Each structure stands twice: as C-alpha cells, then as structure tokens.
Amino acid sequence: EADIYQTPRYLVIGTGKKITLECSQTMGHDKMYWYQQDPGMELHLIHYSYGVNSTEKGDLSSESTVSRIRTEHFPLTLESARPSHTSQYLCASRLGTDHRAFFGQGTRLTVV
Amino acid sequence: EDQVTQSPEALRLQEGESSSLNCSYTVSGLRGLFWYRQDPGKGPEFLFTLYSAGEEKEKERLKATLTKKESFLHITAPKPEDSATYLCAVQDFGNEKLTFGTGTRLTIIP
C-alpha cells in the first residue's frame, strides 16, 4: 500500500481565504505531482516536482503555487480562494526509476 | 497531443458475468500505459503498467492487454467488490504527466 498522505480530506472555505493543501510521502520518492479532478472528468496535471527545490507547472492553468523544500513534502497553496477553485485535488509520487505513480486519498475543496 | 478515450462510460454486470473495458489512445511515443482503480471519494489505486504491444498483466480477476492503439481490461467472474471507476492513463517519452481518460464506472450487481 502506498504511503502518501493528504490533509485535510475535506475543506469548505470562504472566498478570498488563503489555503494550503498538504501532501506527504514516506517512500523516498523524488518525483511528486498535483492533479485536479472534477466529478466525472479526467485528472489534469497542475504542478510537478523532480526533487527538492524543483517545481514546474503542468498543462492545466492553475492559480495555485507549490513548494518542495523537503523530499517528502509537497504542499499546494491558493493565496485567495475562489468558487472556481472548487474541485478535488490529488497528490501523487513516484520513484524516478519506476513509472508507477501512487496517489493520496485526495482533498475535496469547496469554496463558498 | 496525447489522447485517451475510455468506453463504455458506465457498465453494469451481474456477479460472475465477465466483460471487457476499452481504452483507446494516441501518443507520440508510448513510455507506458497505466490502469488505475478509483473508489468514490478516494485517490486512484495503481493496478497495472503495460509498456509494449502484446504485453499482458494479470491480478486476481483482472487482466490487462495492450495493442498499438488500445488496451483492454478484462474482468473475469466479477464480484461486487470490483465495483469502482477504472481509469486508463498514458505517458509518452519526454513528458512527466499522465494523460488520463474519463474512466469506466463499473457496477457489479449481486
């Protein structure tokens, strides 16, 4: 079973608030990812990281930012939440030599 | 641009009734094709990776196969606990992202 954890699982927050979604993995994986998934829709990559101090934007435009100060930790921040940010956010990781990506349980964000 | 199309969108089967899910893909150079299972409200759970046409992988009641244009996930004698959404994804060389399909929502009726 994959050891990748996301908190919180569910979050309801007001417009304009700053939020940080946490993602941690204990597998020593170098590569980490954030995907966004709306109900019934495909997952879209919004950020990824090759390792410490490395971050890149994915294909889907996102107003969020990420950081990778430690190998095991890849938090995602929204400076000012809007209703359009309502979605499920999924964190994933993999070892560079292994193509399998392992996902966390997700954070379901609702901005009211 | 990589594309993944899954069919059918939803499938209802009686317990024990075998069937197949389809994943059609276009990719410039296939690094790998992945199958995941996703339960409601949870993250995708890794099932299989396939790398080249002709390859097959099996796990319990599931078997995944790959051709140059599509992959099939065969489910033999399914049980209610196999009910989930099954996602297909591809990755091409030189690209970090996985391109996902929208999934097939499978329901097994006892």
Residue-wise pLDDT for A54-92, tens only, equals 999 988 777 899 999 999 999 999 999 999 999 999 999
Range 31-50 of B in CB contact (< 8 A) with A? 31-32, 34, 36, 41-46, 49
The per-residue pLDDT of chain B, averaged, comes to: 95
With bands split at pLDDT 50, 70 and 90, how would you rate the model's confidence at A2?
low
Residue-wise pLDDT for B10-40, tens only, equals 999 999 999 999 999 999 999 999 999 999 9
> How far is it, in rounded angstroms, from Cα A58 to Cα A64?
11
Helix (H, G, I), strand (E, B) or coil at B93: coil
Nearest to B31 among A40, A90, A99 (CB): A99
Q: Is the pLDDT of residue B48 over 70?
A: yes
**Closest residue of chain A to B2, computed from CA coordinates:** A59
Q: Is the pLDDT of residue A97 over 90?
A: no
